Chain A
Amino acid sequence: MNTAKKFEIFSGTGGVGKTTMATSRAIDLAGQGRKVLLITIDPAKRLKDLLNLKDEEAGKVVSISNPFELGEEVKLDALLMNPNETIKKIADKTNAQSLLNSRILKVLSKPYGGLNEILAIVELQLNLEKNLYETIVLDTPPGSHFLDFLESAHKIQAFFDQTFIDIFNYLGKSKSKEKTSSGRKLVSMVVSGGVKKLLGYLQKVTGGKFIEDFMDAIGAIYETKDTFLSALNLQKKLRDPAFANWFLVTSVDQSKIKEALNLSSNAQDILNSETFVILNKCLSSELDAWQPKSDEHLQIEIKESFEQKENELKNTIKKKFNHVLEFPEILKLSPTEQVVELSQRWRQLSTLKAEG
C-alpha cells in the first residue's frame, strides 16, 4: 500500500462494505496524524451513529475527536453528504437562488437522483477549496453498476450536449438583454427547429407545466454552469495517479464474477494505472485451517463452495489488476469493532509495503 494521496476514493456496488472500508481508511490515516475529511453518502444508520453524524447535520462538516475510541489525540472531520445541501451550497456560492426554486432540481437531487454523482464531485471541489485537509476520503454514492460513479461525467456531458448548448446559447443572448427568464419565455425563445418541435410534442404528452419547469431547471443549472464544469475538470484530475488513489471494493461473499470481469474490461480506459482492487471478506486463512472429516459431507460441501467462490474471484481480479488488497472477513458483530479491525489491516498493509 503506497502513501495516502490528496484524494482517496472508494467505489463499488452496494453491500460490499464500501462505507466501512472508507471509514476504516480514514481513521487509519487520522491515527497517523493526518488531517483527514471523510465524506460519506447516506451510510447505514449504525455507521452514522458511530461517526456521530445526524441527518439534520447533513451537508455540514462535523469534527470528531477520539473516533471509535482510538485515543483523544485522534481527530477526524466527517461530512454526511446530502445532494440537496450541496445544491444549496452552490446556490449560495453563485448567488443563484433560482437553483433552489426549481421543483425538478429538487427531485433530481434526491438520493439516487440523476445528479448525485456529479454533486459528490462538486462537494469534493468545495471542500478542496477550503485547503484544510491533507487527505479527503470519499465514499461514492452506491451505483447499480461498479462504474456508475466514474461515468457520471457522461451524464452531465449529455446534459450539456449540443441540444442544450443551443438552448444555453439562446439563454446567453437573452441574458445580455434582459435579466429575467421564465420557462414560458424560454420555450418561445427556443426557435431552433428541432428543439421547438420536440418541446411541442413533449408538451402534448407531459403537459405544458412540466416543460416550463424543465426549462427553468435548465436555466438554473446554466446560471451555475461554471461550478458544474469545474467539477468536470476535477473529475478528470482525479484520474491522475499523483493526485488520487482509487479503491474499487468488491466482496468475496458476493458471487459477482461477471461484475468483476466487466469492471476489468471497462476500468482500464477510465481509471489510472494505480487503481487498487479491494477483495473484502476473504476467508482463505480460516478455510485453509479447516479440515473436515471425510464423512462430514455437508461440511466438505460448505468448505469447497467457499473456496471455489473465493479462488475464482481472486484469480479473475489478479489477472487484470496489478494492485489487489485482500481484507479478511471480520467476524465481529459490532460495526465499531469491524471498522477498527479493518483500520489495523490498512496499517499492516502499509508496513508490508515499507518493508518490501
Chain B
Amino acid sequence: MENLKRLYIFTGKGGVGKSTLSLSFVQSLSSNNAKYVYFKSSSLNKKEEISDPLIAQAKELGIPTLGLDLEQAAQSYISKKLKSQTLGKWVLKTPFFKALINMIPGFNYLIYLGQILELLNDDPSLTLVLDSPSSGHALTMLEATHNFKDIFQSGVVFEDTKKMIDLMFGDNFLKVNIITLPTLMAVNEAQELDESLQKITKIDTEIICNNCFKNIPNIEKSTLPEFLINKIDNEQQVSDSFSDILDTYIPHIPTNTTHKLLKELVPSMKNLV
C-alpha cells in the first residue's frame, strides 16, 4: 500500500474497540511488512503475561504480532548505556529503580517507544501498529518524550529523547487513530484528546467512530425494534453535530466470533491508513 506511515497508534477510551481495530488493520496490510505491537506488562512489579483471547486468535489467524516486555527493554537499554549486561541486570533488580519506573508516568512508555523506534530504524520496510492502553495513557506516552526532555535536561537519556522526538514527529512517520463510539460524550472526549495531542506538537490524527449501527450495510430501519431505531437516531444526531471532525465510520459487526469480526472489518480499514 502506498503512503503507509511507519507507526500507527490506536488510542481512545476503554471499550471502544482499539485492539480489534488495530488487529484488523494489520490484517488488512497483509501484503506489507506490518506488525501488531502489544505490551506484555505495564509495570515492573506485575509479571502478567498477556493472555488476551484476542491476541491468541490473532496468532491463529496469522496476523503478525510483536510483544514488547518492559523489563527486557529497560534492561537492554541500561546495559547498552552502561556497557555491561551484569550492571544493567543489577540496576533493574533494585527496588529503587523499580519504584522509579512504576511511579513516574510515562517512564515505561519512554522505554517502550525507544524500543519501537529502534525496531523501525533497523528495518526500513517495517510498519508497526501500536495498540495503546487508553486515552490518558496514550497522551502520557506521547507526552513522555517532551516531559523527559524537560526532566533530564542533560545526559545520555536526554540526548536519546531528543533523537526520539525528531524521528517520531518527523514527516510521514506517525499517525494516531483516535477510536471513539457514536455517543455525544465519547466523541467529545475524542475531540478533547485530539486537542491535547495537538498541544504536544503537530500530529497527524484521525477520529474514527466505531461500532455504528447506522452504518451496517443493507440495514432496513423499519424492521428494527424501537431501541435500535433509537440508537440509530442518536448516532445520526451525533454525526450531524460533529460533522466537522467526524467522517470515518466503522459499522457494527453483529457477531461474537473474533475471526468473523476481524475479517468483516477489513474492508473498512483502508480509511485508517
Q: Is the CB of A45 within 8 A of B188?
A: yes
**Is A309 an interface residue, CB under 8 A from the partner?**
yes
**Is B189 an interface residue, CB under 8 A from the partner?**
yes
- Closest B residue to A118 using CB positions: B103
Bound together, the chains give a CA A20 to CA B185 distance in angstroms of 10
- Closest B residue to A283 using CB positions: B227
Q: Is the CB of B152 within 8 A of A209?
A: yes
Most central of B155, B218, B230 by chain A CB within 10 Å: B155
**Is B94 an interface residue, CB under 8 A from the partner?**
yes
Q: Is the CB of A198 within 8 A of B91?
A: yes
Bound together, the chains give a CA A332 to CA B183 distance in angstroms of 10
Q: Is the CB of B99 within 8 A of A164?
A: yes
Q: Which of A14, A103, A207, A299 contacts B14 (CB 8 A)?
A: A14
**Is A114 an interface residue, CB under 8 A from the partner?**
yes
- Closest A residue to B229 using CB positions: A331
**Is A155 an interface residue, CB under 8 A from the partner?**
yes
Bound together, the chains give a CA A144 to CA B14 distance in angstroms of 8
- Closest A residue to B96 using CB positions: A163
The verdict on A254 contacting B14 (CB below 8 Å), with A299-B224, A335-B184 known, is: yes
Chain B contact residues: helix, strand, loop or mixed: helix
Q: Is the CB of B184 within 8 A of A46?
A: yes
**Is A85 an interface residue, CB under 8 A from the partner?**
no
Q: Is the CB of B157 within 8 A of A205?
A: yes
Q: Is the CB of A301 within 8 A of B254?
A: yes
- Closest B residue to A331 using CB positions: B230
**Is B52 an interface residue, CB under 8 A from the partner?**
yes
Q: Which of A45, A154, A302 contacts B254 (CB 8 A)?
A: A302
Across the interface, which residues of B come within 8 angstroms of A202, CB to CB? 91, 97
Q: Is the CB of B45 within 8 A of A158?
A: yes
Q: Which of B87, B136, B219, B252 contacts A142 (CB 8 A)?
A: B136
Q: Is the CB of A158 within 8 A of B98?
A: yes
Q: Mark B134-152, 1 if CB is under 8 A from A, else 0.
A: 1111011000000100111
A162 to chain B minimum Cβ distance, whole angstroms, is: 6
Q: Is the CB of B254 within 8 A of A298?
A: yes
A113 to chain B minimum Cβ distance, whole angstroms, is: 4
- Closest A residue to B99 using CB positions: A158
**Is B15 an interface residue, CB under 8 A from the partner?**
yes
**Is B205 an interface residue, CB under 8 A from the partner?**
no
Q: Which range holds the interface residue count of chain A?
A: 35 or more
**Is B231 an interface residue, CB under 8 A from the partner?**
yes
**Is B156 an interface residue, CB under 8 A from the partner?**
yes
Across the interface, which residues of A come within 8 angstroms of B227, CB to CB? 283, 286, 290, 329, 331
Across the interface, which residues of A come within 8 angstroms of B140, CB to CB? 110, 112-113
B66 to chain A minimum Cβ distance, whole angstroms, is: 19
Q: Is the CB of A258 within 8 A of B82?
A: no
B132 to chain A minimum Cβ distance, whole angstroms, is: 10
**Is A294 an interface residue, CB under 8 A from the partner?**
no
Q: Is the CB of A305 within 8 A of B256?
A: yes
Chain A contact residues: helix, strand, loop or mixed: helix
Most central of B51, B94, B105, B188 by chain A CB within 10 Å: B105
**Is B62 an interface residue, CB under 8 A from the partner?**
no
**Is A33 an interface residue, CB under 8 A from the partner?**
no
- Closest A residue to B157 using CB positions: A206
**Is A354 an interface residue, CB under 8 A from the partner?**
no
Across the interface, which residues of A come within 8 angstroms of B13, CB to CB? 14-15, 142
**Is A251 an interface residue, CB under 8 A from the partner?**
yes
Bound together, the chains give a CA A332 to CA B97 distance in angstroms of 49
Q: Which of A242-298 contact B (CB under 8 A)?
A: 251, 253-256, 258, 283, 286, 289-290, 292-293, 296, 298
Q: Which of B139, B147, B154, B224 contacts A107 (CB 8 A)?
A: B147
Q: Which of B82, B136, B219, B256 contacts A205 (CB 8 A)?
A: B82
Q: Is the CB of A298 within 8 A of B219?
A: yes
Q: Mark B225-263, 1 if CB is under 8 A from A, else 0.
A: 111101100100110000000000000101110000000
Question: Other than the known A107-B105, A112-B136, A164-B95, what 11 A-B pairs have Cβ atoms closer than 8 Å?
Answer: A107-B106, A107-B151, A154-B45, A201-B82, A202-B97, A204-B81, A210-B157, A258-B52, A283-B227, A286-B227, A305-B256
- Identify 22 residue pairs between A and B in the complex whose beta-carbon atoms are under 8 Å apart, listed by A's number: A15-B14, A15-B15, A16-B14, A44-B189, A104-B104, A107-B105, A115-B103, A142-B136, A158-B102, A195-B96, A206-B157, A209-B152, A210-B151, A258-B53, A286-B227, A298-B216, A298-B219, A302-B228, A304-B254, A305-B254, A308-B256, A333-B238
Interface residues of B, Cβ cutoff 8 Å to A: 13-16, 42, 45, 51-53, 78, 81-82, 87, 91, 94-100, 102-106, 133-137, 139-140, 147, 150-158, 181, 184-186, 188-189, 192, 216, 218-219, 223-228, 230-231, 234, 237-238, 252, 254-256
